[in-house]
Amino acid sequence: MGSKHRIQITVNQEEYDLLVYPDRTLLDLLRYDLGFTGTKEGCDEGDCGACTVIVNGKVVTSCLVLAVEVDGAAITTIEGLHQGDELHPIQQAFVDSGAVQCGFCTPGMILTTKALLDEIPSPSEEEIKHYLEGNLCRCTGYTKILDAVNIAIQQLK
Amino acid sequence: MKRFDYLRPGNMEDAIAALQANDEPSLLAGGTDLLIGMKTRTVKPKCLIDLKGIPGIDGIVYDNGFKIGALTTIRDIEVSTLIRQKIPALSKAAETLGSIQIRNRATIGGNLCHGSPAADMATVLLAMNCEVTVASDKGEKTIGLDRFFTGPNQTVIGKHEILSQIIIPEKTEQFKGVYLKHGPRKAMDIGIVNIAILLDADFKSGLCNQVMIALGAVAPTPIRAKKAEALLTGKELKPDLIHKAAEAASSEAKPITDFRATAGYRKDLVKSLVAKGIQQILGS
């Protein structure tokens, strides 16, 4: 029971041809098989958003997705945002506004912000809060994170 | 998680055949409930049948009412401008479910078939007098959602059947609706009490033509507050009548005490939310 399946995926624009067991989550595939450890494991049940990645343009909690389900998909992790030595404007905004404290929620927070701004380039305060509601931060009190999102909105205009 | 086989059938016939051919299978839609159950080992399927390979069962079609494919994500429902325009209570319920990450995966069919008494889609759809289409090797049949839920995490869906579509009657658009979800936090939580109210009234005279009130998280399944509905139908919606109807709805609720709230608090909430909901519709 549970033999391996072949999947072909793109992670951060690089193609992978893999054999995976059906019980391998996308989170574990990314972290342990492919080494994208920027994707964090928090609650492991979809509540905290630390494991957020972008699959075909949509944010998902990778702990609640099986690797076999994403055959053919294009995935973006936090490692896929920078261009050479340049941080992505959203990453830079998080640095500049002090939105990073312990850093554990940061990859998920930044990827959700990326999906938000790809979908709604000039979101309202309400839209930002609604979109980021599934990413928990226990350090910042969210104020600096909202600042970072607002800086990023200006930078990306 | 226990090891399991994974199948991704390309059509409904193959999916039903896979249900019949495999020992202890589970259907996989968005997986946002199922995978948690598998991680905590409350469900231990030997085989997962992924429905996402079946064409034509995700999508929103408007044709004399809405036909929503079972695999339509909650996010697709949330952002549908047609749904927001014609039946906004459904959009409201969709946007309160989980987080964006969950809504991007979770499906309307999965939310119904999981059978949680607190399911957001279940409560709002119950108020809309929906029907669902169920596929089996004998073809398709249509069941009213009022006969769908049989107990906590239990539905009428048989071992070899698959929910394929949700049908929302065109008449629903005549109603003004609200969806109220009460809980300690707005996001990523299940409601302590969910309430959906659809009201068709003459808003000048305040005469109630028809009303549907569905209550979630206060009984083994989502329920309709039939006594409250009967009290209001054909009557003028005066404050004392609304108060009586809210009390009736509260008496119809049969909640349990759990870590979220006590049964008594839930009953009180039903009373205040039903009154608040009706007043909100009248004031809108």
Give the mean model confidence (pLDDT) for residues B260-272.
97
Q: In chain A, which residues have their Cβ closer than 8 Å to the Cβ of B53?
A: none
Structure tokens at B191: 């409601």
In angstroms, rounded to a whole number, what is the distance separating the alpha carbons of residues A93 and A144?
A: 10
Residue A21, φ and ψ in degrees, nearest 5: -75, 150
In angstroms, rounded to a whole number, what is the distance separating the alpha carbons of residues A114 and A130?
A: 14
ipTM: 0.97
- Tell me: the pLDDT tens digits for A52-67? 999 999 999 999 999 9
User: Of B33, B53, B73, which one is at a domain's C-terminal end?
Assistant: B53
Give me the amino acid identity at B223.
I
Q: In chain B, which residues have their Cβ closer than 8 Å to the Cβ of A2?
A: 3-6
Q: In chain B, which residues have their Cβ closer than 8 Å to the Cβ of A67?
A: none
A-B Cβ pairs (cutoff 8 Å, strict): 88
Q: What is the CATH number of the domain that holds A11?
A: 3.10.20.30
**Minimal Cβ distance to A49: which of B4, B48, B99:** B99
Domain co-membership, B162 together with B199: no
- Structural domain range at position B263: 176-182+189-283
pLDDT at B93 over 70: yes
Give the mean model confidence (pLDDT) for residues B119-139.
97
Mutate to test the interface with B, among A61, A109, A120 (most CBs of B within 10 A): A61
Between strands A58-61 and A74-76, the pairing is: unpaired
- Tell me: the pLDDT tens digits for B35-62? 999 999 999 999 999 999 999 999 999 9
Total domain count, chain A: 2
A84 in a domain, yes or no?
no
A98 in a domain, yes or no?
yes
DSSP per-residue letters across B27-94: EESS-TTHHHHHHTTS---SEEEEGGGSTTSS-EEESSEEEEETT-BHHHHHH-HHHHHH-HHHHHHH
> How many CA atoms does the CB half-sphere of B26 hold within 13 Å?
20
CB B101 to CB A60 under 8 A? yes
**Minimal Cβ distance to A49: which of B31, B52, B101:** B101
Domain co-membership, B27 together with B91: no
H or E stretch at B180? strand B176-182
CB B36 to CB A112 under 8 A? no
Structure confidence at residue A68 (pLDDT): 98
User: Of A28, A53, A78, which one is at a domain's C-terminal end?
Assistant: A78
Q: What is the CATH number of the domain that holds B40?
A: 3.30.43.10
